[in-house]
């Protein structure tokens, strides 16, 4: 599997273009509306056929480019069924799989940041969205977030993956691009080093973070798959 990591500086969002080298079938994970032309340029230059637009969750900090990209390419929009999306083509459940050529993508439901977070497992890599970040994790104080659910998702599902699994997050605010499950189990400041649920909850309940700047337009915009015009 080929992986191209792309970055949006305005929202600190990683977008991933992944494709099967033999068939050139591709998927994009977590597009950003302002970067649609960039993504189209990569697809065209690399000779890819975009098959899926995979969303890790309904984002609160940016508007997806999935809808406009679907119009241009015919790719199918994919998001977890808990999102309540009326515009997605495929609503996923735990264990669903998708094929890109000879490669398989498996869905792992990892709620807690929201109730609709999914991690996409592909060929030794985990695209964890906001659930597990590098030395960090997603907040739990809105969009049906839950300390207990996120703790379970990370400790029982993500930390159960092979140690060498590469972690590709949806965001980073410190200049870090990837990690591994082994590193996060050992060094994650919020949930690593076998922290208890009580310790994790105390950390999460005292973050006192401001709301994302775009939350009032991002959530409704993403429930329309980014079709806001």
Q: Single out the residue of 110, 139, 129 nearest to residue 54, CA to CA.
A: 129
Q: Single out the residue of 117, 149, 114, 154 nearest to residue 132, CA to CA.
A: 154
74 found inside a domain: yes
CATH number at residue 190: 3.60.15.10
pLDDT at 31: 98
Beta-strand ranges (E) seen in 30-111 are 49-54, 76-80, 90-92, 97-100, 103-109
pLDDT at 214: 87
Q: What is the span of the domain harbouring residue 199? A: 2-208
54 found inside a domain: yes
Q: Widest CA span of the chain, in angstroms?
A: 50
Cβ 81 vs Cβ 115: under 8 Å: no
Q: Single out the residue of 34, 94, 27, 2 nearest to residue 221, CA to CA.
A: 34
**What's the total number of domains in the chain?**
1
The two tokens of residue 94 are 């735990």
Mean pLDDT in consecutive groups of 10 residues from the start of the chain, 229 residues: 96 97 97 98 98 97 96 98 97 97 96 98 97 97 96 98 98 93 98 98 96 90 88
pLDDT at 213: 85
Return the CA Rg of the chain. Answer: 16
Say which residues have a Cβ less than 8 Å from residue 194's Cβ, sequence separation at least 6: none
221 found inside a domain: no
Residue that the structure tokens 């065209």 belong to: 44
pLDDT at 174: 87
Tens of pLDDT, residue by residue over 128-171, are 999 999 999 999 999 999 999 999 999 999 999 999 999 999 99
45 found inside a domain: yes
């Amino acid at each position: 599997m080929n992986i191209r990591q792309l970055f949006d500086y305005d929202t600190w969002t990683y977008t991933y273009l992944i494709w099967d080298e033999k068939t050139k079938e591709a998927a994009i994970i977590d597009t950003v509306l302002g970067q649609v032309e960039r993504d189209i340029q990569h697809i065209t230059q690399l000779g890819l056929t975009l098959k899926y637009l995979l969303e890790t969750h309904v984002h609160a900090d940016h508007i997806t480019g999935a809808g406009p990209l679907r119009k241009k390419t015919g790719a199918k929009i994919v998001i977890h069924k808990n999102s309540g999306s009326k515009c997605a083509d495929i609503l996923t459940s735990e264990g669903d799989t998708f094929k890109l050529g000879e490669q398989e993508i498996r869905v792992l439901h990892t709620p807690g940041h929201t109730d609709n977070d999914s991690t996409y497992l592909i060929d030794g890599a985990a695209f964890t969205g906001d659930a597990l970040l590098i030395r960090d994790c997603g907040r739990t104080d809105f969009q049906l977030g839950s300390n207990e659910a996120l703790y379970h998702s990370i400790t029982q599902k993500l930390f159960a993956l092979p140690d060498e699994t590469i972690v590709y997050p949806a965001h980073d605010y410190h200049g870090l691009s990837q990690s591994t499950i082994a590193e996060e189990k050992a060094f994650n400041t919020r949930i690593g080093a076998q922290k208890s649920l009580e310790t994790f909850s105390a950390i999460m309940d005292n973050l006192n973070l401001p709301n994302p700047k775009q939350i009032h337009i991002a959530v409704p915009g993403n429930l329309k798959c980014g079709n806001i015009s």
